[in-house]
Amino acid sequence: MAIAAKHNKNLRPAKHPRSDQQSQFSLGSYKFSFALTALLFLLSFTSRIQGNETLVLSFRGAAFALLLWQSHLMYLAFRAKETRVFSIVLRPQHYIQAMVQSSVYLYWGYYWQPVYEHGWLIIAQLLFAYTFDMLLAWSRRREYTLGFGPIPIIFSINLFLWFRDDWFYLQFLMIAVGFMGKEYVRWQREGRSVHIFNPSAFALGLFSLILIITNATHLTWGHEIASTLTLAPGIYTFLFLIGLVVMYFFSITLVAGVSAISLFALSALYYQTAGVPYFLDSEIPAAVFLGLHLLVTDPSTSPRTPLGKTLFGLLYGLGVFALYTILDNLGAPTFYDKLLCVPLLNLSVIAIDRAVRSIKSETILNLWNQNWFKGRANLAHMGIWVAVFLGMSLIGKTDGKHTGDSLPFWAQSCSAGLPNACGRLLQLKETYCGDNSAWACNELGAHYKEGKITEIDTGLSLAYFERACELKYQLACFNLLDQNLLGRGDPQELDLRLLLREGGQNLMNTPLSELYARACEHEWSFACSMTQVANGTRL
Amino acid sequence: MEFCLFDDTGCKRNKAVTIKPPPTNAERTNSEVKLNKVPSRTIGISAMIISIFFTAYWMSLQGSLMDPVSEDMESSAILFEGFRSDAWQLPDDEFLGFVEIASGQFTMGSNPAVDRMAYENERWSPSRRQGSVDLPTYYIARFETTNAQYRKFLLDTNAPTSASAAGMIPITNITWPEALSYARWLDTQLRQSSLTPEPLRQFLSAGGRVNLPTEAEWEKAARGSDARIFPWGAQPSGAFANFNGTELLAVGSKACPDCSYGLSDMAGNVWEYTRSPAQDYPYDSNDDFQHLIEGALWVMRGGSYADPVNNVRTAVRGSVGPGVRNSTIGFRLAISQL
């Protein structure tokens, strides 16, 4: 708004230029799109990009493709003696969303360095997105509305998935598909032609599906993104607070709140029934908590009525809960659960609206009556959500220690034959091994060699031993030297710093005595005696 | 809502600007209809579907890209003089490049009175400068493991291969577990193949294993039974070994007819991994498992092309982390009883 007003101060109302547009062609607006394309090209000369040849080619290839497209459009416009225009419209739902997302990047990146290193790549995606969106509008002979619209789309995509440098061209393709989905995949809703899918969720959902089918998750940073949010201390509280901003401005409390509450409830129910947590390391994985605040809450692709929003949130909770198990059973990475769910929900919006309209009961319809709270229904909903979140925090279900964080807990549960416990134990150890815990890698090698809690796989066993050995776990090296041997030991110091970082705490500089004390609290029995040694020697 | 319309004359020049409310969807639709030339949505949807299928196809290809490329297949079949392309690129001699080291004692460690360049960690014990170690018969490779041999292993195991390198240059930039992995693979090949010479086959059947040598096996092979300071004798010589230099040489480039057991490059060219953990002398292979320590290192021997003369002596003991990749570190294999 401010920018538009500033421009307007200096402007004198003039004859609408459109009458001239029909009769003459000029470079005009193309200069802007050319400038964005040139910036994208120039970014390929930065040191971050120059470090990888594929990245350089991806940037230049994308710039070249955009240039070709612009040239083609210019040629068509020149022949038709038309010109293309754009207008500036700044919408709060875009720039507030973008600011909230930026704060997540800043906070998360402070604790996980690759986020900041990804900065140049996000800028490149923004340049690409703006140009692509503009050219798409002009290809459809429409004015382009310039604002902050592409920013939340790009930020949203990158909060959940980005391709590694060697395959970064696929990131540009994913963005292109997202914008094409917004432009072309539409339906009539309440008499208007609107896009069906949230553009970022469409791109994420579609590419997630392809990555699962082609078993190509290793081309992305998906695993790391999903698991490193918790490296930022108090991430749940942080997401909750920024979520309140979005809830306040855009009345998405019913969607976000109900989905969170339903997930909390389902997790608790499962724990009571099975004796083990449903999700591995929290009641709601941090990335899911992020998704239910910033991914599923696009007002234009969700129901409009309060009851519809409630159903929408409930379905998201159920969907994520169900997809987690489905993906796990399929052997696919479970972090896709929150991404696959949104496009399916977008498709159900009309059905939800129709279902709500078909309800005859006045009592149900008036359940969320706006007048109940003197027109401040959203604030009332937010109040309930704040109370629920505080309650969950007080009983330790958000940040802080969580039963599922403890490996000994899963080991005991696995020995006791509790459902899914052995699978979770392996999964947890795989995560820690991926984080360079040598002990966890050696444990995995041992499991695949022994075949007690999983099938024997000699190749995989050796691969894990090799990794553990490279990480200087000497027993693993001996396991490699002599295949008749199976050496297993206790976690080493670095292992403990990784294994005990529940809730994402950074334990890298924790004194050794504290570390062992913490390990002892987490049922690592060997650490209890080490605590005394560490205290005695003032380590 | 106010907004500014940019066109060829543009707001930036403060010319030809219109201030108006944004068009409603209906208005927009009408203006599109008036132009009457809006490209069909079918083209856009088709482009999107093609992009999606292309992405799916491309991603599925990326999984298979982890397999060796055809260039590697070609390089595996290249003939190197003196080596057998049909036998894992091993040397073309009676025992496929393995040399028998007869059982018996040898002197291990350094005597500073004889070897002025000796390091402290070569001393046998506080009371003794050198020790005597008795080893059973074993075989050791005449040459360091080459790029061609290692690439054959990578091809055979469908592991990703790096860019092509000169075949007879020793393999470097591999970790200690990777060297072991190669040894394990060759062990299986030799056990299963009819190309394996009978004495080797019998040795393997009797409990022998292809492996990295222990540091004792390595040292005995390098200095022989007469406690040489260098593999060829007591005096340093650039004629027999590649050291103090700037580049790797193909294995066996420095002929050394007088070297112990006729082995090549036991001094210089590349440091060679052993299967012994780095710990103080006296050497005892039985105590390898008794000193498990965090961040353990493994012994490497022989020095490299980049090292000075004192580091290419037969008794020099280097150590390295198992995850290290370095352009001066490679390995050679042994076949011995565990």
- Tell me the count of A-B CB pairs closer than 8 A: 189
> What pLDDT is attached to residue A403?
76
The verdict on A211 touching B (C-beta cutoff 8 Å) is yes
Q: For residue A131, tell me if it sits in a domain.
A: yes
CA–CA dist A461, A442 (Å, integer): 9
Determine the distance in angstroms separating the CA of A337 from the nearest CA of chain B, rounded to an integer. 19
User: For a pLDDT cut of 90, what percent of chain B falls above it?
Assistant: 61
Using the 3D structure, point to which of A383, A400, A417 is the last residue of a domain: A400
Counting the structural domains of chain A, the total is 3
Per-residue confidence (pLDDT) for residue A120, from 0 to 100: 94
Q: Do β-strands B138-141 and B98-101 pair in parallel, antiparallel, or remain unpaired? A: antiparallel
pLDDT grade for A361, boundaries at 50, 70 and 90: low
Residue A198 lies in a domain: no
The CA distance from A49 to A52, in Å, is: 6
Distance CA B72, CA B154 (A): 9
Considering only CA atoms, which of A211, A72, A213 is closest in space to residue B43? A72
Q: Does A34 touch chain B (CB under 8 A)?
A: no
- Asked if A528 is an interface residue toward chain B (Cβ–Cβ < 8 A), one would say no
Contact assignment for A482 to B1 by CB distance below 8 Å? no
DSSP state for residue B233 in the 8-state scheme: B
Q: Which residues of B touch A479 (CB under 8 A)?
A: none
If asked whether residues A225 and A333 sit together in one domain, one would say yes
Both structure tokens of A331: 């052997």
C-alpha span between B109 and A393 (Å, rounded) = 64
Would you tell me how many other CB atoms lie within 10 Å of the CB of residue A288?
29
Distance between alpha carbon A70 and the CA centroid of its chain, in Å?
32
**Residues B326, B304: Cα–Cα separation, whole Å:** 11
B239–chain A nearest CA distance, Å: 36
Same structural domain for residues A384 and A451?
no
Q: A273 and A373 in one domain?
A: yes
> Considering A354, A372, A400, which residue would you say is the last residue of a domain?
A400
Q: How long, in residues, is chain B? A: 338
A11/B14 CB distance under 8 A: yes
| Domain C-terminal end among A363, A382, A400 | A400
Select the residue from B46, B55, B65, B287 to test the A interface by mutation, using most A Cβ atoms within 10 A.
Answer: B55
Structure tokens at A105: 């990047």
- A523 Cα to chain B: minimum distance (Å): 22
Q: What is the largest CA-CA distance in chain B?
A: 103
When the pLDDT of each residue in chain A is averaged and rounded to a whole number, the result is 86
pLDDT band at A2 (very low <50, low <70, confident <90, very high): very low
**Residue A332 pLDDT greater than 60, yes or no:** yes
Beta carbons of B60 and A29 less than 8 Å apart: no
| Closest CA relative to residue A337, chosen from A298, A303, A297, A287 | A287
Residue of B nearest to A470 (CA): B323
Structure tokens at B56: 């799916």
Taking phi first (over 0 means left), then psi (-120 to 50 degrees means alpha), and beta for anything else, what does residue A401 get? beta
Tell me the pLDDT tens digit for each residue of A93-130: 899 999 999 999 999 999 899 999 999 999 999 999 99
Mean pLDDT for the stretch of residues A491-495:
89
Q: How far apart are CA B324 and CA B176, in angstroms?
A: 8
Q: Which element (helix H / strand E) includes B4?
A: strand B4-6
Per-residue pLDDT, A538? 41
Exposure of B116 by Cβ count < 10 A (0-12 exposed, 13-18 middle, 19+ buried)? exposed
Instruction: With residue B273 as reference, give the H or E element that holds it.
Output: strand B271-277
What is the per-residue pLDDT for B20?
A: 45
Q: What are phi and psi of B145, to 5 degrees?
A: -65, 135
Question: Does B17 score more than 90 pLDDT?
Answer: no
Widest pairwise Cα distance in chain A: 89
- Give the side-chain half-sphere CA count within 13 A for B299: 26
Q: Which residues of A touch B44 (CB under 8 A)?
A: 136, 139-140, 180, 183-184
Considering the domain architecture, whether residues A468 and A391 belong to the same structural domain is answered as no
Query: What number is the average pLDDT over the span B241-250?
Result: 93
- Inter-chain touch B51–A173, beta carbons under 8 Å: yes
Alpha helices in A372-473 (DSSP H): 377-394, 407-415, 421-434, 438-450, 458-470
Q: How many angstroms away from the CA of A434 is the closest CA of chain B?
A: 15
Query: Based on the domain organization, do A339 and A310 belong to the same domain?
Result: yes
- Counting residues of chain A whose pLDDT is more than 70, the rounded percentage is 89
- How far, in Å, CA of B69 to CA of B8, rounded? 52
Report angle CA B303, B308, B312 to the nearest 5 degrees: 35
Q: Point out which residues pair with B301 in neighbouring strands.
A: B272
The residue type found at A515 is L
Across B258-285, average pLDDT: 93
Q: What is the pLDDT of residue A438?
A: 94
A161 near B CB under 8 A: no
Q: What is the pLDDT of residue A163?
A: 95
Angstroms from A130 CA to nearest CA on chain B? 15
Look at residue A350 and tell me if it is in a domain.
yes
Residue A14 at interface with chain B, using a CB cutoff of 8 Å = yes
Chain B contact for A245 (CB, 8 A cutoff): no
Exposed / middle / buried, residue B302 (Cβ in 10 Å: 0-12, 13-18, 19+): buried
Q: What is the pLDDT of residue B37?
A: 57
pLDDT at A504: 61
- Whether the pLDDT of residue B253 is over 70: the answer is yes
Tell me which DSSP letter residue A26 carries: -
Which band of pLDDT confidence, cut at 50, 70 and 90, is reported for residue A535? low
Least confident of A28-32, A342-346, B235-239: A28-32
Q: Give the ranges where A500-538 is alpha helix by DSSP (H).
A: 512-521, 525-536
Quick one: average pLDDT of B260-284?
A: 93
Residue A220: band (very low, low, confident or very high) from pLDDT cuts 50, 70, 90: very high
Residues from chain B that touch A475, judged by Cβ atoms under 8 A, are 292
pLDDT digits (tens, 9 = 90+) for A515-530: 898 888 888 888 888 7
Q: Are B89 and B83 in contact (CB under 8 A)?
A: yes
**For chain A, first and last CA: distance in Å?**
59
Residue B135 has pLDDT above 90, yes or no: yes
Task: For residue A276, give both structure tokens.
Answer: 């083990």
Q: What is the pLDDT of residue B19?
A: 38
Reported ipTM: 0.79
Model confidence band, residue B36 (pLDDT cutoffs 50, 70, 90):
very low
Residue A114, both tokens: 């690759």
pLDDT per residue over B37-91, tens digit each?
A: 566 778 888 888 998 999 898 888 876 554 444 444 444 456 677 889 889 999 9
Question: Is there a domain that residue A515 lies in?
Answer: no
Beta-strand relationship, B90-91 and B83-84: antiparallel
CA distances from A73 to A80, A81, A137, A429, B115 (A): 10, 12, 11, 54, 81
Backbone φ and ψ for A417, nearest 5 degrees, come out as 75, 25
Place of tokens 């776990």: A473
The stretch A442-470 carries a mean pLDDT of 94
Q: What is the pLDDT of residue A405?
A: 74
Q: Which residue has the higher pLDDT, B334 or A193?
A: B334
Distance, CA of B209 to CA of B138 (rounded, Å): 10
* Candidate from A173, A470, A481 with C-beta closest to B275: A481
Name the residue with tokens 């913490």: A518
Residues B166-184 have a mean pLDDT of: 93
φ, ψ dihedrals at B276, nearest 5°: -100, 130
How large a percentage of chain A has pLDDT more than 90?
A: 49
Query: Is A98 contained in some domain?
Result: no
Give the residue-averaged pLDDT of B290-303: 82
- Spell out which residues of chain B touch residue A167, defining contact as CB-CB under 8 Å: 62
The pLDDT assigned to A76 comes to 87
**Given B56, B289, B296, which is nearest A210 (Cβ)?**
B56
Both A396 and A426 in a single domain? no
Check whether residue A363 and residue A255 sit in a common domain: yes
- Residue A197 pLDDT: 92
Chain length of chain A: 539
- The domain in which residue A338 lies consists of 221-400
Do A282 and A378 fall within a single domain?
yes
How many CB atoms are closer than 10 A to CB A465?
30
Q: Token pair 């099975």 is at which residue?
A: A274
Same structural domain, A392 and A407: no
**Residues A7, A19 within the same domain:** yes
Task: Give yes or no for residue B285 having a pLDDT over 90.
Answer: no
DSSP letter assigned to residue A355: H
Q: How confident is the model at residue A175 (pLDDT cuts 50, 70, 90)?
A: very high
pTM of the model: 0.73
List the beta bridge partners of residue B141.
B98
Separation CA A362–CA A370 (nearest Å): 14
Do A317 and A345 fall into the same domain? yes
Quick: pLDDT tens for A287-307. Answer: 899 998 888 878 778 888 888
Q: A21, A87, A212, A493: best mutation site toward chain B, by most B Cβ within 10 Å? A: A87
Q: Is residue A417 part of a domain?
A: yes
Q: Is residue A101 part of a domain?
A: no
Neighboring chain B residues of A14 at a CB cutoff of 8 Å:
15-18
So what's the pLDDT on residue A1? 33
CATH of the domain at A486: 1.25.40.10
Are residues A52 and A78 located together in one domain of the fold? yes
For chain B, domains (ranges, CATH) are 69-336 (3.90.1580.10)
As a whole number, mean pLDDT of residues A18-39 equals 71
- The answer to whether the CB atoms of B14 and A493 lie below 8 A apart is no
CA–CA distance, A469 with A463 (Å, rounded to integer): 10
Instruction: Give A27's contacts in chain B (Cβ within 8 Å).
Output: 8
Which residue in the set B58, B59, B295 is minimally distant from A472, CB to CB? B295
Residue A5 has a pLDDT of 35
For residue A381, give the nearest of A238, A236, A235, A260 by alpha carbon: A260
Q: Which residues are paired to B90 by β-bridges?
A: B84
Instruction: State how far the Cα of B46 lies from the Cα of B38, in Å rounded to an integer.
Output: 16
pLDDT digits (tens, 9 = 90+) for B24-34: 554 544 444 44
For A140, which DSSP code?
T
| Average pLDDT of the residues in B251-277 | 93
